[in-house]
Structure 1
Amino acid sequence: MHAIFYGVFLQAELILGINRIKPYGEILLQLQSNFLTFEGTAGFKMIRRKFKSVLIIAFMIVIVISTIKTNIDNTSKTNRFVKQNLYSQTVLISKSVIERFDHEVDCRRIIEGDELEIAYALEVLRNGDYNCSSNDDVRNNAQNCERFLKMFNFNRFTISKEEIDFPIAFSLLVHKDAVQMEILLRAIYRPHNVYCIHIDRKSNSSLHDAMTAVTKCLPNVFIASKLEDVIYASYSRLQADINCMQDLLNYTDVKWEYLINLPAQEYPLKTNLEMVKILKLFNGTNSIESVYDTATHYRVNETYKVNLKTLKVESTKQRKPPPPHNMTVGKGSAYGAFSRRFVEFALNDERAQDLLKWTEDTYSPDEFFWATLAINKHLGTPGIQYNALGFPDRKLWITTSTTWQSPGPGVNCHGRYVRDICIFGLRDLQKLVSEKEFFANKFYHDYQPYALKCMEEWIFNKSATGNNLPTDLFYYRLALNST
């Protein structure tokens, strides 16, 4: 009989936990005490009959409570299942599985700077037959969307609610290589973000066809409504970004928080979750490079135009009037992480539009427009944090890591330089993965191709395993609070 009392009590305790079942347990134990007191007396049979009735009621209470808890658990599991399947393309990846994208070389050892593995990879590339994909390959693969999404991991993500609640817009520029764009897109793609691709209008049809095929497989990726003939250092490069930004503002399906513009040759150093956490910390502050640089004033003190024969931007040697609204010209990167309020300001404010018009005949206006909006405090440009000297805080420039060619000792680039910018190679990866910026500029998928392949493996596995790990935000908090 003792066992019956404790059996009921323990069963209830397992179902609800000791604190929740305590009142029921006390009742049962009290009943047991009463039973032992009267056992052997004349009234024992009557008490035993009453106890059996109480015991039956107690068992029924436990069964009812157990049934209710089971239904609650099932409902909770169903809700979690529905939430995880908000996007039919999303498949959660095992947190413990590290995948290798290429078994010919060991990317982990390469990224760790292992010289023997790097030398082996370079030897494989010299002696092997490494076939790079083409625009036609991208188009043909995307003809079958199910195969395309599976082949390139577009349907495998770990997405947190924090990311879903903080969508990002991307303006992506491509002029010759669908393969390069597809590699970047698969690294940054999430079904709750939105992506505008601007294709150089004069590019060959194979690029246009390939990108059109890709966008048909990804509902939140689209081609800009207006395409430009993009010429290096001309206004058309800036206009291409403006076109995508306008389309992204008009895109009503996603209320994005920040917009990041990128060329196809960049590659992420941070996962989507890491970028979300950092941008939430920025809380509307932009990441725009903006300095006062007299060495580049020749680009805006004279007027420039495109030579239609050479398709190069050339000076007319004619003096250019100063910028409107008493603005100081700032110099910076063509790329940035812009808050939604900043984009609205840049595209709609009358003074910003006057500046945009003024830049049309300058040299490389994409390097002056954003920077000039940021450097002029009297404009009241949204999301600019200034340092003690009244200039935009350089420490908040975290969008793009670029290695420029410069004189002096030391090796900054282990790849090769094109237009004074490093095209990263295998020996650059160890440094890149420790950078604080969001993206690295530039990679070529057909130059030391294991470099980009290893970066793919690294960012994929970091995305797959990093959702349960804390994000290192110390550097970014310090940058925001140091002015």
Structure 2
Amino acid sequence: MVIFTISFTAIHSYLTQKQINIKVEELFAQITSPDHPYCRSFREKFPRSERKYDMDIAFTIVVHRDIEQIARLLRMIHRKNNYYCIHTDLRSRLSFENALEGLATCFGPNVELVPKYKRIAVRWGDETVLRPQFICGEQALHRHASWKYLLNIVGQEFPLRTNMEIVAAMKALNGSNMIEARDLGYFKAPWIKGSVYGAFRREFIQEAVLGQSTRAIRDLMLQPQTFQNPDEFFFSTLNYNPHLPLPGSCMNTSYFKDPFLAKFVIWEDSQIPCPTKYVRMVCILGIQHVEYLKKTPELFANKFYANYYPEAYDIMEKWYFDKIAKETITGTYDRESFDVSAYADLICTRYHY
């Protein structure tokens, strides 16, 4: 039996990108248990020891393409104590779905796909972008009892922080949520614009996704094709309106100058150069950004295409696992390279419900 004797790197050398995707999907679709040889070969490329952490994290991952990049992402962030909900687009190819099933099986029972009957065909700019967050948020609440914070990401993101660093950052938040906010002063209504992504306390997700106090806002935002980009308003509005007030939400709603540390993103209007290319106003990160990414304090970087400047992704992946190897030896993260005071000093960290 051939067990990954042809590496992904070797596959890249003589196939088109479409052929690569098909081959990799076929490999992952064959996985039937965590002990499957294909699975073990993939996971053990970067061996690491499991350790106990004193905080469990839930991750929701929205995906629609590139099983190899999703697998590499999961290989970095997966820990047995955490929970992982993966939502794939309803329009995904069957071969991609089968590969995701194999990938989830490879990493174990704490990685779960959203059942097909609950999946959404996501269309950029409308309420379908928000719905997977509710679906995975509810699934995480019902399927894993002990996580304290939920982080929501997409398949094209890269983790800048190890699990140990993420736990340290979440502790530094002191029970607050970390949600982006930009003041829309020209509105009389208390709408706050930000991002659908962030770090959310479990109790906040409980209220935001299932609570009666937020139902009117939730139903309004989910009306089909009524709002443009409702995902950019929902969580931010809930987090910065003190009359609600939700667990972990911010008391000081007049201050919007804090950096958003959940995501590193280079937008078209950013002062950071983007010599690669933009997709929907977001810079696709490449080799030119590697040294900057190693020093920035955010949790994740958005976005990478692993087959676009693949050497950049390879370098960052090695850097990430080198950090884990060092943590395994020392028993702690490198406090010189990652200072949690950036999280502890946020206004909402100090003043929240």
- The gaps in structure 1 that reach 5 residues or longer are 1-100, 105-124, 298-321
- Match among 239, 253, 259 for residue 374 of structure 1: 239
More off after superposition, 411-420 vs 334-343 = 411-420
Letter matched to residue 242 of structure 1: F
> Which residue in the other structure is 1:137 paired with?
24
SS at 1:395's partner residue?
coil
CA distance in 2, matches of 1:291, 1:454: 34
CA offset at residue 294 of structure 1? 5.4
1:402 and 2:265 are equivalent in the alignment = yes
Partner of 1:433, secondary structure, is helix
Deviation at residue 474 of structure 1 after TM alignment? 3.0
Alignment match of 2:110 (pick from 210, 220, 226): 220
Secondary structure in 2 matching 1:171 = strand
1:235 equivalent in alignment to 2:127: yes
CA contact 1:198–1:224 (8 Å) conserved in 2: yes
Q: Which residue of 1 aligns with 2:341?
A: 474
SS in structure 1 at match of 2:200: strand
Query: Where is the helix percentage greater, Structure 1 or Structure 2?
Result: 1
Q: Which has the larger radius of gyration?
A: 1
| 1:197 matched to 2:86 | yes
| TM-score normalised per structure 2 | 0.84
Distance in 2 (alpha carbons) for counterparts of 1:103 and 1:208: 23
Q: State the one-letter code of the partner of 1:196.
A: C
- For residues 172 and 427 of structure 1, the distance between their equivalents in structure 2, rounded to whole angstroms, comes to 26
Q: Matched residues in 1 for 2:102 and 2:22: separation?
A: 11
- The within-5 A match list for 1:25-424 is 133-144=20-31, 145=34, 146-153=36-43, 156-161=47-52, 163=53, 165-217=54-106, 218-225=108-115, 226-252=118-144, 254-293=145-184, 328-359=190-221, 360=223, 361-387=226-252, 390-391=253-254, 394-395=257-258, 397-406=260-269, 412-424=273-285
Partner SS, residue 214 of structure 1: helix
Provide the rounded CA distance (Å) in 2 between the counterparts of 1:151 and 1:415: 33
Taking a change above 3 Å as real, the CA distance of residues 452 and 283 of structure 1, as seen in their structure-2 partners, is same
**Correspondence for 1:442:** 303
Of 177-186 and 236-245, the range deviating more from structure 2 = 177-186
- How far the C-alpha of 1:380 sits from its partner, in A, is 0.6
Identity percentage over the alignment? Answer: 32
Q: How many residues align?
A: 325
SS in 2 for 1:351: coil
Structure 1 CA distance for aligned equivalents of residues 255 and 322 of structure 2: 35
Task: Sort the Cα spacing of 1:257 and 1:159 in 2 relative to 1 into closer, same or farther, 3 A.
Answer: same
CA gap 1:214/1:102 in 2 versus in 1, 3 angstroms: closer
TM-score normalised by structure 1 residue count: 0.62
Q: Which moved more, 1:151-160 or 1:182-191?
A: 151-160
Matches of 1:448 and 1:470, distance apart in 2: 28
Distance in 1 between the 2:38 and 2:176 partners? 37
> Structure 1 stretches (4+) deviating beyond 4 angstroms?
101-104, 128-132, 480-483
3-state SS of the aligned residue for 1:280? Answer: helix
The 8 Å contact of residues 139 and 213 in structure 1, kept in 2 or not, is answered as no
The CA RMSD over aligned residues, in Å, is: 2.7
One-letter amino acid matched to 1:288:
I
- Alpha-carbon shift at residue 396 of structure 1 (Å): 6.0
Residue 131 (structure 1) shift: 6.4
Distance 2:350 2:135 in 1: 35
User: 3-state SS of the aligned residue for 1:363?
Assistant: coil
Q: Which amino acid aligns with 2:240?
A: I
- Is the contact made by 1:284 and 1:339 (CA closer than 8 Å) also made in structure 2? yes
CA distance in 1, matches of 2:312, 2:159: 13
Task: Sort the Cα spacing of 1:255 and 1:421 in 2 relative to 1 into closer, same or farther, 3 A.
Answer: same
After superposition, the C-alpha distances for 1:294-330 in whole angstroms (9 at most, x for unaligned) are 58x7xxxxxxxxxxxxxxxxxxxxxxxx9xxxx5111
**Contact 1:426 1:448 (8 Å CA) reproduced:** yes
Q: Deviations over 1:409-462 (max 9, x none)?
A: x65213211111000010111111111110000000111111111111111111
